[in-house]
């Protein structure tokens, strides 16, 4: 990461992650397609459950991002003892996160769904789905931590295979368990949840075998392990902002659903808007996931060269990452603008959902290019240990700007509300530019 030509280095590290994230996006979309074909109310239930599921994922990924950033910086500074300690602490924190969401899944799943609907079938479907994915989330927590640890050392192939394994198993089991194929009973939404957690557990087993039986640049050993406060503090200096940043997304989704529910629109129209927004979130993962995969490849390079005090290579990695992200997002923008009807038809959309969903996809996708730049600035801030800046970006985009603007625009018409997304991305990018100038004067200007 300190010497190789930058573009081949980024592609070599990013392509496996981008491929695995595309597979993950495929799983997300296929999961929703099968659920939608089972029942429209099932799709509504999964859409309403998604914000709480996002909070769980936020703790999982945010903690792992903190570990990834710390290991990469310590390896760049040749501090191998702290790098090893950070890796072991990461698994300890992953188990702690699972214990928290086990309790939430047991005691809070039904209450959460009831905040957004009184429909009995949606309540039952939503509670079933949330209880399983939260209570059996240990597979996701541990496998994601293992992936981020290996990525911090420049190993992108094993994390790709780990995600690929879980996603493929999930895609195979989805129709089998949802519709009751072969010897299996018809489980509906519960089957989708079981397929999800089983795939995660398979990923966990695979990556633990690799970590514990092969040699890596960091050593995993729990013999005589004791968590240290300074390591946990360093992890969560980046991890807490990353958790908050992703959790804010779940607040935003819940807020948009609440705005739609309180808009006074007819029940059928409101449900169509909620489902269209849920479909958008699944579809946009095809565009955003490769950029997040790119981020996973670029971030360790930035962190390593920041730790090595090499400004030229750090900026080179950022510029290449930004250019590639813009190309991916431009392709996504064209797809959403030219083929929204085709995208919606994959989810068995009825005429009302097509009518609502086409302008929704076209308007929100106007934010894609601004989002590409925002993601890469956020990656830069997290990689060098300034996760607070990334958190403020996300907070300003999704809460300070997006929800209030969406609420005001919804008073005009629900379809106009979606312009809040590009407006919020522009505002966030202005904040990111200001932070970059502060860091340039304070840290980057004096680097070698």
Q: What is the pLDDT of residues 250-268, one digit of tens each?
A: 788 888 888 988 887 777 8
- Measure the CA–CA gap between 273 and 280, rounded to whole angstroms: 10
Cα gap 131→154, rounded to integer Å? 36
**Are the beta carbons of 391 and 241 closer than 8 angstroms?**
yes
pLDDT digits 0-9 by tens, 157-203: 888 889 889 988 988 999 999 998 888 899 989 999 999 999 999 99
46, 278 contact by CB (below 8 A): yes
The structure's pTM equals: 0.74
Please, what's the b/e burial string for 54-73 (b: 16 or more CB within 10 A of its CB; e: otherwise)? bbbbbbbbbbbbbbbbbbbb
pLDDT value of position 100: 95
The rounded distance, in Å, linking the Cα atoms of 226 and 100 is 20
Cα 143–Cα 54–Cα 96 angle in degrees, nearest 5? 50
- What span, in angstroms and rounded, lies between the C-alpha atoms of 91 and 143? 9
Distance in angstroms (rounded) separating the CA atoms of residues 155 and 165: 17
Tell which phi-psi region holds residue 296, choosing left (phi > 0), alpha (psi between -120 and 50) or beta. alpha
Q: Which helix H or strand E contains 129, and what residues bound it?
A: helix 120-135
Share of the chain above pLDDT 90, in %: 40
Question: What percent of the chain has pLDDT above 70?
Answer: 100
For 313-354, write each residue's pLDDT tens digit: 999 999 999 999 999 999 999 999 999 999 888 887 788 889
């Amino acid at each position: 990461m300190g010497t190789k030509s930058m573009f081949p280095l980024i592609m070599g590290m990013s392509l496996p992650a981008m491929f695995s994230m595309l597979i993950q996006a495929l799983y997300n979309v296929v999961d929703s397609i099968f659920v939608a074909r089972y029942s429209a109310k099932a799709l509504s239930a999964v859409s309403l459950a998604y914000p709480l599921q996002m909070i769980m994922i936020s703790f999982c990924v945010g903690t792992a991002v903190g570990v990834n950033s710390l290991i990469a910086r310590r390896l760049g500074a040749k501090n191998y003892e702290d790098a090893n300690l950070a890796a072991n602490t990461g698994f300890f924190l992953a188990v702690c996160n699972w214990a928290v969401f086990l309790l939430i899944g047991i005691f809070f799943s039904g209450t959460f769904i009831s905040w957004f609907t009184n429909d009995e079938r949606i309540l039952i479907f939503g509670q079933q789905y949330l209880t399983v994915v939260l209570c059996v989330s240990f597979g996701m927590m541990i496998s994601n931590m293992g992936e981020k640890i290996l990525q911090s050392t420049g190993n992108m192939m094993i994390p790709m295979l780990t995600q690929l394994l879980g996603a493929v198993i999930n895609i195979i089991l989805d129709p089998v368990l949802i519709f009751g194929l072969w010897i299996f009973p018809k489980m509906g939404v519960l089957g989708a949840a079981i397929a999800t957690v089983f795939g995660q557990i398979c990923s966990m087993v695979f990556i633990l075998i690799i970590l514990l039986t092969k040699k890596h640049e960091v050593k995993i050993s729990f013999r005589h392990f004791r968590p240290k406060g300074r390591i946990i503090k360093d992890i969560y200096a980046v991890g807490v902002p990353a958790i908050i940043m992703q959790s804010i997304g779940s607040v935003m989704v819940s807020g948009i659903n609440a705005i739609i529910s309180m808009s006074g629109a007819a029940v059928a129209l409101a449900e169509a808007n909620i489902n269209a927004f849920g479909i958008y979130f699944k579809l946009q993962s095809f565009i955003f996931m490769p950029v997040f995969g790119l981020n996973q490849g670029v971030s360790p390079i930035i962190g390593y060269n920041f730790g090595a005090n090499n400004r030229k290579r750090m900026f080179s990695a950022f510029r290449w990452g930004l250019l590639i992200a813009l190309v991916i997002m431009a392709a996504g923008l064209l797809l959403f603008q030219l083929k929204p009807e085709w995208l919606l038809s994959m989810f068995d959309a009825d005429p009302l959902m097509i009518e609502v969903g086409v302008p929704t996809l076209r308007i929100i996708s106007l934010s894609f290019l601004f989002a590409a730049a925002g993601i890469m600035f956020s990656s830069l801030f997290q990689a060098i240990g300034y996760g607070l800046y990334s958190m403020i970006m996300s907070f300003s985009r999704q809460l300070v700007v997006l929800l209030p603007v969406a609420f005001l625009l919804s008073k005009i018409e629900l379809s106009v509300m979606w312009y809040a997304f590009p407006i919020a991305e522009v505002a966030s990018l202005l904040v990111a530019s200001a932070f970059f100038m502060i860091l340039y004067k304070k840290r980057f200007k004096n680097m070698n």
